[in-house]
Amino acid sequence: MKPTDSIRGLYAITPECSDTGRLLALTEAALNGGAAVVQYRNKLLPAARRQEQALALVRLCRTHARPLIVNDDIALAQNIDAAGVHIGKDDALLSEARAALGPDKIIGVSCYNRLELARSACAQGADYVAFGSMFPSVTKPEACAASLELLTHARRELKCPIVAIGGITAENAGSVAQAGAHAIAVISDLFDAPSVDQRARAYVRLFA
């Protein structure tokens, strides 16, 4: 059974880290703090290193009974038997991802600030949709802006879980949760925190 119920609360997206040991330590701290799902995202490393890191992460996540989602790379998700993949507008089609991964894997789709994209993705069988950037983002400073009102409309209309991403911090995350997000995706504010597990717990409490 695919763990779509896990798309609730803190959705941790890994930082681009070349040190696999450090990456695992940071991710384990986030998991210990209550992260419900982890996404492996690295645009910088060569393919062999990315597979090494992703395989180590999927093993770690399994020890915590949490899913690992791979960003953008269907082949990598297949190779390591990840829980699923997250795709954006410049990546593979949802139908291609589903055909490659099968019915039991999680497929998430970036919908930016467009509710019509989310409607289409849900109708095609996406397991969750993501909106953002909710706030100015260090990771993607050029990203389009999504509103809190969009989350509220989406929560009322859509049947699949809604993830909010982009510029989310411990200070503004409450407004995102109240607006209707089932989960909040965080990179910098989580993994740059002095105590990753304590910061994760702060996010998790918003959904208690």
Catalytic residues: 41, 110, 140
- How many CB atoms neighbour CB 139 within 10 A? 15
User: Pairing state of beta strands 9-13 and 84-87?
Assistant: unpaired
DSSP string, the chain: ---GGG-SEEEEE----S-HHHHHHHHHHHHHTT-SEEEE--SSS-HHHHHHHHHHHHHHHHHTT--EEEES-HHHHHHTT-SEEEE-TTS--HHHHHHHH-TTSEEEEEEET-HHHHHHHHHTT-SEEEE--SS--SS-TTPPP--HHHHHHHHHH-SS-EEEESS--TTTHHHHHHHT-SEEEESHHHHTSSSHHHHHHHHHHTT-
Q: How far is CA 67 from the centre of its chain?
A: 10
Give the C-alpha separation, 200 to 42, whole Å. Answer: 21
Both tokens of 170, joined, read 């411990």
